[in-house]
Structure 1
Amino acid sequence: MSYAIVGFGAVGQALARAFARKDIKVAVASRRPPEALAPHALAIGPKVVAKSLRDAAEADTIILAVPFGEHREVANALPSWEGKTVVDATNAFGVPLEELDGLPSSAFVAKAFTGAKLVKGFSHLVAATLAADPVVEGGHRVVFLSSDDEDATAPVAALAKQLGFAPVTLGKFNEGGALVHARGRTWGQLIFQDLFKKEP
C-alpha cells in the first residue's frame, strides 16, 4: 500500500510527522514544486518524500490536506481516481451551504474525485494536536472516520491504527459523519474533541 499527503501546510506536515514517527514511507506534494518541499520533508524524516502533485496522486491512498477550496485543483491531477482511496482531511467551515449543493462537505468533495472511495478522516483535530504523539498514558488519540462507501473505511482505519491512533467509525456522511462536518459557520459537535481510547 502506498501513501501520499497532498497539501503541506500545518495539517499536511502534522500528518507527515505521524508517518515519520512510525517509519512509514509517504509522498508529500503541494502546489509548490517538489524541490521547494524537499528540504522540509527530509527534516521531518527520511521516508517523507517530496513529489509533484501528479506523481503523488499515483499512490493507493491519498490524504487531502489542502484548504477546502483547492480540492478540485487536486482532483484535476488525474482523469480518473478509480481504485484509489481519498481521505478528506479538509474543513468547509464558512462555506455557504448552497455552494455545497446542500451536501455534507465530504460528499461534495467526493463528486470531484471520479471513481475514488472517499473517507472523511483526520479532520476534527487542530494541526498541533495531530502532530503530537497519539499514544498518551496507555491511551490512543481518537480519529473519527466516516464514508458513504462501507468498504472504504476499513483500510483507512488500519492506517490510523498503524500511525498509533484509535479509529472510531461514525457511519455515513449525513449520519454520524455529520458530527465531524462543519455546516456554514457551525462546527460539528465532535470537531476539536480530543478524546483517547484505552486499550482493553
Structure 2
Amino acid sequence: MSTAIIGFGRIGQALARAFARKNIDVTVASRRPPEALATQAQAIGPTVTARSLQEALAADTILLAVPFGEHREVAKALSNWNGKTIIDAMNAQVAPEELDGLPSSAFVAKSFTGARLVKGFNHLIAATLATDPTVEGGHRVVFLSSDDEDAIAPVAALARQLGFAPVNLGKLDEGGRLVHARGRVWGPLIFQDVFKKDQ
C-alpha cells in the first residue's frame, strides 16, 4: 500500500517524521513544486520523497494535511477517487454553519466522491505528533472514525506500523464528533495526549 501526505506544513512534516522514524516510504506534496519541498523532505529522512501533487495522488492512501479551506482544490485534482483512502488530518477552523450542519469530515467526504474517508491524526498538535509515540511504557493514541467500517482496519494497521495505538471511535457523527474542531467548538478529545499501555 503506497501512502502520500498532501500538505507540507507543520502537520504534514510531523507526519513525515513518523514515517521516517520507521523507515517507511512516503511521498509528500503541496501546492508548491516538489523542488521547493525536496530539501526539507531529505532532511526529515531518506524514505520521504517530494513529488508533484499529481504524482502523489497516485498513492493508495492519502493523508490530507492541508489547511481546511484548501481540501476542495485537492479534490479537483482527480476526476475519480474510487479505490482511494483519504485520512482527514485537518481541523476545520470555520464557523459550524459553513459545514451544512455536518461533522467536518463528513463535509470533506462530499468533495472526494468514491473515496473511503477516515478521520485521524488530527487531534494531536504538530509538536506532539512529530515525537516518538512510544512513551510511558506504551504508545500514543490516535483516534479514528469513519462512516465506512471497512476503511478503519487498514488505517489502524498503518497507525500501528507508525508506532501509534489506534482507537476506533465509530462513525463520524457519533464518536467522530469527540475529535472534531470546528470554529470555536472543540470536541472533548481534541488536543488531548493519551497513551495506551502495552498489555
TM-score by length of 2: 0.98
What residue in structure 2 maps to residue 23 of structure 1?
23
Q: Structure 1: how far apart are the matches of 2:182 and 2:174?
A: 14
What residue in structure 2 maps to residue 70 of structure 1?
70
Equivalent position amino acid for 1:136 in 2: V
Residue 32 of structure 2 corresponds to residue 32 of structure 1? yes
Q: Can you give the 5+ residue segments of structure 1 that lack an aligned partner in the other structure?
A: none
Aligned partner of residue 185 in structure 2, secondary structure: coil
Deviation of 1:184 after TM superposition, in Å, equals 2.9
What residue in structure 2 maps to residue 9 of structure 1?
9
Identity %: 77
Deviation of 1:124 after TM superposition, in Å, equals 0.2
- Asked if the contact 2:8–2:28 (Cα under 8 Å) also holds between the matched residues in 1, the reply is yes
Residue 100 of structure 2 corresponds to residue 101 of structure 1? yes
Equivalent position amino acid for 2:113 in 1: T
Deviations 1:14-54 (A, max 9, x none): 00000000000000000000011011101101110000111
Q: Structure 2: how far apart are the matches of 1:63 and 1:183?
A: 19
Query: What pairs with 1:84-95 in structure 2 (closer than 5 Å)?
Result: 84-93=84-93, 95=94
- Asked if the contact 2:91–2:182 (Cα under 8 Å) also holds between the matched residues in 1, the reply is no
TM-score by length of 1: 0.98
What residue in structure 2 maps to residue 163 of structure 1?
162
What residue in structure 2 maps to residue 145 of structure 1?
144
Q: Structure 2: how far apart are the matches of 1:98 and 1:163?
A: 35
Deviation of 1:2 after TM superposition, in Å, equals 0.1
Q: Can you give the 5+ residue segments of structure 2 that lack an aligned partner in the other structure?
A: none
Q: Structure 1: how far apart are the matches of 2:55 and 2:74?
A: 12
Equivalent position amino acid for 1:31 in 2: R
Deviation of 1:77 after TM superposition, in Å, equals 1.1
Aligned partner of residue 112 in structure 1, secondary structure: coil
Deviations 1:58-79 (A, max 9, x none): 1000000000000001111100
Residue 135 of structure 2 corresponds to residue 128 of structure 1? no
Equivalent position amino acid for 2:137 in 1: G
What residue in structure 2 maps to residue 118 of structure 1?
117
What residue in structure 2 maps to residue 195 of structure 1?
194
RMSD value over aligned CA atoms?
0.7
Deviations 1:130-158 (A, max 9, x none): 00000013210000000011101100000
- Asked if the contact 2:136–2:195 (Cα under 8 Å) also holds between the matched residues in 1, the reply is no
Equivalent position amino acid for 2:174 in 1: E
Deviation of 1:167 after TM superposition, in Å, equals 0.1
Deviation of 1:183 after TM superposition, in Å, equals 3.6
Equivalent position amino acid for 1:173 in 2: L
Q: Structure 2: how far apart are the matches of 1:98 and 1:36?
A: 36
Equivalent position amino acid for 2:189 in 1: L
